[in-house]
Amino acid sequence: MTQVQALRPRPLPRALLITLAPTATWFLVRPLIAPAPALPALYAAFGLSIYAFLSSLYLVPALGPTFIRANLKGRDLLKAYDTSIPESQGLVCASIYILLLILFTPYAFSESITTHHDAAQKSREGLVVNEFPHHQLAVYLSSLLSLLMATMLGFLDDVFDIRWRHKLPIPIIASIPLLIVYYSERGATDVVVPIPLRWLLGTLINLGPLYYAYMSLLSTFCTNSINILAGINGSEVSQAVVIAVSVILNDLLFLPWAFGFRIPLPLHVTEGVKVGGVWSAGMAYGSRILVERHLFSLYFMLPLLGVCLGFMYHNWYPARAFPGDTLCYVTGMAFAVVGIQAHYSKTLLLFFIPQIFNFVLSCPQLFGLVPCPRHRVPRFDPETQLLHPSRAEFKEKRPTALTVLVLRVLSALGLVELAFDERTGELASTTNLTILNVFLLRLGPMREDSLTRVLIATQVCGSLVAFFIRYGLAGLVYDGNRR
């Protein structure tokens, strides 16, 4: 592949714009036409998600030269050519995403606005008062503020290239609006104790301030775990796409469906997942609160999926645009927002199984036991166009006994490959501690796009395992519908 062919912008099909733009407009207009559908705001959210897809699809290549002129550019380390590629294009995606969420605000509260207006025209009798849901509005606006702060901090990270050990706590700052609103509305800090431990701890345990620490750490993990598992074309945005789809599917199970069905699960550990049948309310079983929480989640996830799919078209191998840390910060914060505000943080973490594995594997490098180079991406062989595991070398200081022990354990598990000095017998180097290098170590050298497909397949398998744990095995340790 020549340099010119590699960097030429991908074609933008005009038929896609002509087809999807009217469709998105219809979804936005339909809630305004009587009789309104059962879930009018969901129609609007779907229409805005289509606009998010189209906007990122067309604006990313259009603004690429502007980013290059602003010196927001970089070289693809895993390619033979060295032509500059626009970086920090996650800023475009984040701007589209947040702008559409702001435009969506009237739709999200349209029913409350109409009810409040109609009630004001009628004479009030007794104690009947129709109040506007200020709490829900505060939750929505605080979520937008957290996303705005995540965008700002992510862009600052792109510009100033903050070191890993310093950037880890940055998302805690962006989560402050969420925590303040949660506290002001007296959010619950109780957690349900698993059945096997109730003889010791009881049914509920109040974590108090520890619960707020958990929520702030959740935002930190969701943001940085995607950023850590990066370095190849399409890796960051593909993780966001799969996780967003998984969250959306989980939300759809709790919406009020007019029919019921059953999803059988293997191993016969349960009767399967039953959806609908009780007040036609899906797995919410008539609970308006559960339906509203998962609708809130869908309002944030559908536009996020749209904007990520549009950017993925340009970030796929060979990439014409780089997301930068901004996209990782915004997508991670969006997942943290819905996990915290919709009260399903445990289920959300299940969708991060590959990221949890990668984070645990990376800890020796992130916390200084093993040398951590600036880029832990795989090593590119320009002759074969294949990727190989990259290595971290012990040049500046000798490995400690703890370092050697940890690496020997990881080597025994087949997760790293160690190299020893022939003269002294001391540990000289190790493969970098990332799941991408593990794939290359266990599956052999491969093309960059093939490695991205392996990562996507792993993320999909992780989501399938998450659904099985959540709806298959959770009933063994929790009674009722605990999330």
* Tens digits of residue pLDDT in 231-252: 899 999 999 999 999 999 999 9
Using CB atoms within 10 Å of the CB of residue 192, give its burial: 0 to 12 exposed, 13 to 18 middle, 19+ buried: middle
Q: Where are the beta strands (DSSP E) in 48-132?
A: 73-74, 85-86
**pLDDT at residue 269, as a whole number:** 47
The region of weakest confidence among 40-54, 138-152, 217-231, 465-479 is 465-479
Residue 360, token pair as written in the block: 């645990």
* C-beta separation of 300 from 101 below 8 A: yes
Mean pLDDT within 448-456: 97
CB within 8 A of 391, min separation 6: which ones?
379, 419, 429, 430, 431, 432
Residue 238, token pair as written in the block: 């593909």
**pLDDT at residue 188, as a whole number:** 80
Segment 199-210, tens digit of pLDDT: 888 888 988 889
Mean pLDDT within 42-68: 96
The model carries a pTM of 0.90
| pLDDT of 284 strictly over 60 | no
| Among candidate residues 382, 391, 387, 390, the one with its CA nearest the CA of residue 448 | 387
Segment 368-416, tens digit of pLDDT: 899 988 789 999 999 999 999 999 999 888 899 999 999 999 999 999 9
CB within 8 A of 237, min separation 6: which ones?
308, 311, 312, 315, 323, 327
pLDDT, averaged across the chain: 86
Which amino acid appears at position 165 of this protein? R
* C-beta separation of 109 from 292 below 8 A: no
Mean pLDDT within 266-271: 51
**pLDDT at residue 164, as a whole number:** 65
**pLDDT at residue 423, as a whole number:** 87
Which amino acid appears at position 142 of this protein? S
pLDDT band, residue 285 (cuts 50/70/90) = low
**pLDDT at residue 125, as a whole number:** 43
- Residue entry with tokens 């991060």: 352
pLDDT band, residue 266 (cuts 50/70/90) = low
The region of weakest confidence among 134-148, 159-173, 233-247, 326-340 is 159-173
pLDDT band, residue 5 (cuts 50/70/90) = very low
Mean pLDDT within 325-353: 94
Residue 216, token pair as written in the block: 């702030």
**pLDDT at residue 297, as a whole number:** 96
Residue 217, token pair as written in the block: 């750490």
Segment 101-143, tens digit of pLDDT: 999 999 988 765 455 444 444 444 444 445 677 788 899 999 9
More confident residue, 77 or 8: 77
What percent of the chain lies above the pLDDT cut of 90? 57
**pLDDT at residue 259, as a whole number:** 60
Residue 32, token pair as written in the block: 């305004």
Using CB atoms within 10 Å of the CB of residue 155, give its burial: 0 to 12 exposed, 13 to 18 middle, 19+ buried: buried
More confident residue, 333 or 128: 333
Q: Any bridge partners for residue 192, and if so which?
A: 204
**pLDDT at residue 117, as a whole number:** 45
Cis peptide before 61 (omega within 30 of 0): no
| Among candidate residues 276, 234, 233, the one with its CA nearest the CA of residue 258 | 276
pLDDT band, residue 309 (cuts 50/70/90) = very high
Q: Where are the beta strands (DSSP E) in 276-347?
A: none
* C-beta separation of 216 from 175 below 8 A: yes
What percent of the chain lies above the pLDDT cut of 70? 87
The region of weakest confidence among 55-59, 227-231, 442-446 is 227-231
